Homo-oligomer: A and B are copies of this chain.
Amino acid sequence: MTFPSELIPFFTPQGVAVIGASANPEKLGYGVIQNLLRSGYPGPIYPVNPKKDEVLGLKAYPDILSVPDPVDLAVIIIPAPAVPQAVQACGQRGVRAVAILSGGFAETGEAGQALQDAVLATAREFGIRLVGPNGVGVLNPHSGLNTTFIEEIPEPGSVAFLSQSGALGGALIDWARGQGLGLSYFASLGNAADLTETDFIRALHHDPHTHVIALYVESIHHGPEFMATVREVAGHTPVLALKAGVTEAGARAVASHTASLGGSDEAYGAAFRQAGAVRVQSVQELFETAMALAYRQPPKGPGVAVLTNAGGPAAVAEDALARQGLQAPEPSEATRQALRQALGEYPQLMNPIDMLGAASAPEYEAAARVLLQSDEYDAVLAILVPNTANDPEAVAAALARAAAQSDKPVYACYMGDVSVRAGRQRLHQHRIPTFDFPENAAMALANALRWHRIHESPPAAAPQPDLSAYEPLRQAIQDLARSGHRYLTEAALYPLLEQAGFPLPAWVAAYTQRAAQAFASNFPGLFAVKVLSPDILHKSDIKGVMLNVPADQVGKAYWEVQARVRRRAPKAGLQGALIQQMAPPGTEVIVGMRRDPVFGPVILFGGGGMYVEAWRDVAFGIAPLTEQDIRTMLQETVVGRLLLRGARGHGPGDVTALMALMQKVAALALAVPELAEFELNPVVVHPAGQGVTVVDARAVLAT
């Protein structure tokens, strides 16, 4: 396994030039030189500073052109306006890898964006790859490379961190040093003008030191490429993702920070899930899950034994495990017997296994061994509360001995602070994932299990569906778009959908009462009568819809809906009414599509009916979708679970037909880029074997 050759200088460069190196300790260009020296970088370091002969004892050069061989990485930390020229000089000197630490580019507005575009154009001209601008560079503790000005230097380890915030990199490094956790790599992506998170994920897949990839992103730069790359990597190396800018306030902060734009949170959620990234929701969760996966193999199932010297924290742990979807099964009789032999007659041989306050290191060790060997547990969570009668450091060593004999993980929660600091350090030295509170341990365990399941069955890429069947529909929609249509009424849309095989009820667009009545006489059952008008988006709001109309009343209803709308919206142009057969009973759902600026077509599935918007019982998927993607979407919603399993008095719905319909919407989205939004609402899902009926549809065309 090797790195892509053009990225090698960002991992193991043969000589580093620092353009903007400074002899003034208050300048960041001083910190970079200092860090390169302190991190033990073995190659030559070339300060570039036209005003100095020497920086920190190193010979300085007036410009990059005068720097001797070997040099294949340049770090630029000079004011933004001077950066384009510096990049050009790098190109002329033959340097093909540049990390720009300077700020003042796209994150500051239009002028900055133009400057960034100019830098990128120059880089492209010379075949230069860029990291940044507006970042803090890269750091490889294994090769001694550190182009950042972060104060502290991490130990070499196995967690790689890719961050669109340099400061979060500094925070992780400082936190990791406190824990004793090592890092394998850190890249501060900044504005990611050229190299993105995706490029580094791909490269880290080949890094023998990296066992966990942690990601802080404010936006993803090329959605489909990101998904394809993570899909390749995530079964082998866990990819943890924290996305900022989830809320409106967060999105505003993000936009002004790294010029990150757009993409809905739902689309990010779907993309992470479909690609196999483990999404986390807080910085602490990101750091602690990375630590847990770096230290230990994940649990292979949800069964957790809680081993404790204190009942209250164990009860809290049991709650937390259950909330995370983990289980705390009771010990089997055999395990209980083995615990009795190991511990004597303790009152509590349930789960939690409460060994009471004074529990000793040998007791922790013996009990942990029994639990790790039992079939009913996939992991042990050991809780310790310090008191005068116990020894947290000895317990740490005891847990490590037990853990060494098993491929199941042991996690620890030492509660308190002052009295357990040394014990926590020992746990970290033994690579026992360690948490201050039981809730955090439960969360990391759950995330590790999520990754284990991705590892066991990595998500597959969806095959590109055959779109040829949608070509006539695309032609028709292109024509409509060209002739200025923005919204399509049912009368325009239904024929197209019928042609593409969507399951519609019998219908007719009637422009006379006679036509309406004649249609109804041909079909059994009841009818819906809906006013037709290109000017009315929400027909029901102005009483433009009548449902359950008997056949002999359809003519009357034809006039009635038009009369009602004329009263309420006198200016709307009316085009008669749409008459359609009422669908047989079933469960109402929505299937929709919209386009995400980052990930492309997003398919929506959710519960239908009046409350749907308030409920938000919806799930999202990025097209194209695998069958598994669709099943997961159904599982994520209440209505989907009811359709899969049935409810009291109701058997399961026709999930096969529903899934086929969702695939059809996904294919339509891919085949017809002119379709900006598309919604089938409601779709009635009939009992298993009886299909689905699209009862209403609307489409918005791209302008």
Give every chain B residue within 8 A of A166 (Cβ-Cβ): 310, 312, 357
Scoring A151, A166, A388 by chain B CB atoms within 10 A of each residue's CB, the highest score goes to A388
In contact, A357 and B167 (Cβ under 8 angstroms): yes
In the complex, residue of chain B having the shortest beta-carbon distance to the beta carbon of A416: B174
A283 at the B interface (CB under 8 A): yes
Segment touching B, from A314-322, A499-507, A574-582, A684-692: A314-322
Pair A313/B416 contact, Cβ less than 8 Å: no
Once bound together, how far apart are the Cα atoms of A149 and B439, in whole Å? 26
Q: Chain B residues with Cβ under 8 A from A538's Cβ? A: 648-649
A168 to B312 Cα, complex, angstroms? 6
**Are B165 and A315 within 8 A (Cβ)?**
yes
Would you call B253 and A314 a contact (CB within 8 A)?
A: yes
**Which residues of B lie under 8 Å from residue A319 when comparing CB positions?**
244-247, 249-250
**A170-B218 contact in complex given A245-B319, A249-B319, C-beta closer than 8 Å:** no
- Mark each residue of chain A from 308 to 336: 1 if its CB lies under 8 Å from any CB of chain B, else 0: 01111111111111110001100000000
Instruction: Specify the chain B residue showing the minimal Cβ separation from A543.
Output: B649
Asked if A655 is at the interface (CB within 8 A of a chain B CB), the reply is no
The residue in chain B whose Cβ has the minimal distance to the Cβ of A217 is B312
Stretch of A254-262, A401-409, A625-633 at the chain-chain interface: A254-262
The contact string, 1 if C-beta is below 8 Å from chain B, for chain A 403-435, is 000000000000111111100000000000000
Residues of B near A315 (CB, < 8 A) are 165, 218, 244-245, 250, 253-254, 257
Mask, A342-376, CB within 8 Å of B = 1, is 00000110111010110000000000000000000
A218–B315 alpha-carbon span in the complex (Å) = 8
A103 nearest CB neighbor, chain B only: B356
A175 at the interface (CB under 8 A from B): yes
Instruction: Name A442's closest neighbour in chain B (CB-CB).
Output: B282
Cβ–Cβ contact A171 & B284, under 8 A? no
- On whether the beta carbons of A638 and B610 are closer than 8 Å, the reply is no
Task: Say whether B318 contacts A249, CB under 8 Å.
Answer: yes
Min distance, Cβ A302 to any Cβ of chain B, angstroms? 11
**How close is A180's CB to chain B, nearest CB, in angstroms?**
10
Q: Is the CB of B311 within 8 A of A167?
A: yes
Residues of B close to A151: CB separation below 8 A: 386-388, 419
A572 to chain B, nearest CB (A): 16
A312 touches B541 (CB 8 A): no
Q: Would you call B313 and A174 a contact (CB within 8 A)? A: no
Query: In residues 143-197 of chain A, which contact B (Cβ within 8 Å)?
Result: 149-152, 163-168, 170-171, 173-179
Closest-CB distance, A194 to chain B (whole angstroms): 20
Q: Is A437 an interface residue (CB 8 A)?
A: yes
- Looking at the assembled complex, report how far the CB atom of A503 sits from the nearest CB atom of chain B, in whole angstroms: 23
Bound-state Cα–Cα, A35 to B537, Å = 75
* Oligomeric state, in copies: 2
Contact (Cβ within 8 A) B419 A152: yes
Contact A316 B250 (CB under 8 A): yes
Q: Evaluate whether A641 and B615 lie within 8 angstroms (CB atoms) in the complex, with A247-B322, A648-B541 already known.
A: no
Flag if B247 contacts A310 (CB, 8 Å). Answer: no
Interface size classification for chain A: 35 or more
Q: Do A282 and B167 form a contact, CB below 8 Å, given A415-B175, A648-B538?
A: no
B437 pairs with A388, CB closer than 8 A? no
Q: Which chain A residues in 255-284 approach chain B with CB under 8 Å? A: 256-258, 282-284
Query: Any chain B CB within 8 A of the CB of A650?
Result: yes
Give the residue name and chain of the B residue nearest to A607 (CB): B611
A249 CB contact (under 8 Å) in B177, B321, B613: B321
Complex: how many Å from CA A615 to CA B168?
Answer: 38
Q: Does A647 contact B (CB under 8 A)?
A: yes
Q: Is A248 an interface residue (CB 8 A)?
A: yes
A253 & B311 in contact (Cβ 8 Å cutoff)? yes
In Å, the complex CA distance between A254 and B244 comes to 37
Complex CA gap A31/B390 in Å reads 13
* Contacting pair B416 A178 (CB below 8 A): yes
Interface centre among A28, A282, A316, A357 (most CB of B within 10 A): A316
| Distance between A182 CB and nearest chain B CB, rounded to angstroms | 14
A313 CB contact (under 8 Å) in B171, B173, B421: B171
- Alpha-carbon distance A614/B385, docked complex (angstroms): 39
List residues of chain B with CB within 8 A of the CB of A607. Answer: 611
- Residue A55 at the chain B interface, CB threshold 8 Å: no
Distance, CA A313 to CA B247, complexed state (A)? 14
In whole Å, how far is A539's beta carbon from the nearest beta carbon of chain B?
Answer: 10
CB neighbours of A163 from chain B (8 A): 312
Is B610 touching A387 in the complex (CB atoms < 8 A)? no
Contacts of A235 in B (CB 8 A): none
Shortest A52–chain B CB gap in Å is 19
CA distance A108 to B350 in the complex (A): 12
Known: A253-B352, A538-B648, A538-B649. 15 other contacts (CB 8 A): A28-B388, A150-B387, A165-B311, A167-B309, A168-B312, A170-B310, A249-B322, A253-B315, A257-B314, A257-B315, A283-B313, A283-B316, A283-B437, A283-B438, A615-B615
13 contacts between A and B (CB under 8 A): A28-B388, A149-B388, A167-B311, A171-B310, A171-B386, A175-B415, A176-B417, A178-B421, A244-B312, A247-B318, A249-B327, A253-B314, A253-B352
